[in-house]
Structures are given as structure tokens and as C-alpha cells.
Amino acid sequence: MDELEANFFLGLSIHFGGPKTYMSGTAGVGVSKKFDFVTPGINLGVNFYNGGLGSLPNSSNFNIDTVITAKLTAGGGKGNPMTIYPLHLNSGSGLEDHYKYSATLGTNFIFNNNNRNQQVGFLQVRAYDFSFQTYNDFQGFKKIGISDGYDRWWTGGGNLTFGAKNSDYQFVIASDVFTADTDVEPRSKFMRDGKLVNSDEMKLDVFDKNVAAPEGSSFYHKYFVHKPNIASELTQDYLNDYRDGVTWNNQMHDFELNQGRTSFKLRTPQGEFGVNGLGSSHMWSQNSIHNKINFHVIPSSAPNYWEFQYTPLNQQF
């Protein structure tokens, strides 16, 4: 029998112990309908935050992201409920997975009060009470229509979740990266090695600027030390040529936005507690991937620090 499910959610977190104390929160609704082994769904979430990832270090202004998600889950067996994460951990979700084994593919349309509007795809797989999720705006997702391919803002991340939603204890490890807009543009169609190459198949910086790691480099050097090239902060001239003349804005283009976050979250009967590491070193997940695919590295001067995250409100109804 087809099953329609709607879950409203409301959350609030306090972040403290770092350079400043700030808040993050979320509210919205997720709706899905189960048809035997497939479950389509949509989610509307409104996230706000005035510090941490996605914020300038010298600003306490609130950022507001409205995230509209569409997803399709395919799976089998009956499992405990697990949250389907469309984006980062602080982005609310009313979508649940009730299969024992499953895979979910989806897309997020993000509308931001500072015009950081973007499309980001995601993939989540689960087995029993374990799940792995990743989200990204890279070209692979763009080719199937679920990302914009620009490598900016909520550009990529993921998490490992141990424990079902109805378990007494649940542990989540996550990595997220946020960057300013960068100089990544497809070139127009042209001939290369006797073949016509479409603009959405190549990137200027991958084939014209990048320097591969020396042959024989160790795994560590190739993926964690070598830098194919360094991305540049955008100028107004660049924005005139490639971004339809949008005016340079520090909330969109300032490289002080560039940093990563490594999160550890534990949910217990006594509450939900987290520890987050932020700063340049916590961009490790993006840097290793960019090194692997010989793609530009986005620089960061953000100081590294740790903070605590306490979530007094996390309700679903």
C-alpha cells in the first residue's frame, strides 16, 4: 500500500567555546510517498546562522538559506527510520528512510539572503543502521542535472551516521567545506586532439593552468601536499565577463569565507551534543579530492579552532 509521510521539523543550536558565540537553526517540512521499493520526496528547509561556516569572521549578521530539495530513494527490506540529509548537518530535513538497504539521489536548490544562490546534488546510501552521505556541486552531478558545477559556497561535504533515528544513541561524523565564488569556467567548444569538446566537459583551470604532481610522488604527497594550482579571488572585471556583471560583494566573493568544518555529533537520551573543528585545515576533504582530480586548490587563511555545539531544540512532528 502506498504510504504518504509528512514531517515538520524545528531545530536550534548554540555554538560556543570558539572565537565567538553564535546560533544556528532550522525549520521546515519534508514530504515523501512510498511506492514499494521507491520513495520520492521533497523537503523545504529554512536555515539561519550568524557565525561559523558560511559567515565572515568579522560579521554577526544572519545568513538565511532557503533549501528546496527533491529526492528519490530506492531500497528494499524494512529498517529503522534514518534521516536523509540533503545538505550539511545543520540543514534540517523531514525526509526519512525506512528501508534496510537503500540509495538516495537528490538535488538542492539553495536561495540565500546574500544572493549565494546555487544548486547542489547529493547521494546517500544505507545498510541496516549505518548511512553514508555526500553532497557536492561538481561536474559529475552537473552532467545528470542535479548541480550547477560552479565549485562555490556550500560546495561539498558529507557524513557517516551510526545508529537509527529511534535509537537511544546516534553518532555522526561529518566534513563540510564553504568557499567564496572562484575562477572556474568552462571553455567554449573547440577541437582538442582531433575531437570536438563541449563546454560542459572541460574546465579552463584543469587543462590550461594545472600542474600534475611529479611522477612517482607518494600517495601522501600527491593527495595532501601537492597543489595543482591556486584559485584566485574574483575581480570586478572577471565578474563582468563571467557573472553577468554582478557587483563584487564580500558575502559572495571574499576569500575570508573559505574554510572547512569537521563535526562530531552525539545524540543521547540526555540531549544532543557536538564538537566542531573549523578553519583552513578542516578543508582537508576538498583539498584531497581536488589534488586527486588535478583541480585547483582554494586557499584559506582562516585560523583553526574547536567549538562546542549544544542543541536544546530538535523536534519533529
Chain segment 296-308, per-residue pLDDT in tens: 889 999 999 999 9
What DSSP designation does 209 have? I
Kindly state which CATH superfamily the domain 3-182+252-316 is placed in: monomeric porin ompg (2.40.160.40)
- Tell me the whole-structure pTM to 2 decimals: 0.90
Give pLDDT, residue 241: 83
Give the start-to-end residue ranges of the domains of the chain. Answer: 3-182+252-316
CB 149 within 8 A of CB 140: no
Give pLDDT, residue 38: 98
How many angstroms separate the CA atoms of 29 and 195, rounded? 48
How many angstroms separate the CA atoms of 142 and 181, rounded? 17
Whole-number average pLDDT of the chain: 91
Give pLDDT, residue 207: 52
Chain segment 214-248, per-residue pLDDT in tens: 888 888 887 777 777 788 899 999 899 888 899 99
Weakest mean pLDDT among 6-10, 106-110, 179-183: 179-183
How many angstroms separate the CA atoms of 159 and 141, rounded? 18
How many angstroms separate the CA atoms of 20 and 133, rounded? 29
Cell numbers linked to 217: 610522488
Q: Return all residues near 75 (Cβ < 8 A) that are at least 6 apart.
A: 37, 39, 97, 99, 100, 101, 102, 103, 126
Q: Which of 87, 108, 143 is nearest to 261 (CA)?
A: 87
Cell numbers linked to 252: 559572495
Give pLDDT, residue 189: 47
How many angstroms separate the CA atoms of 179 and 280, rounded? 11
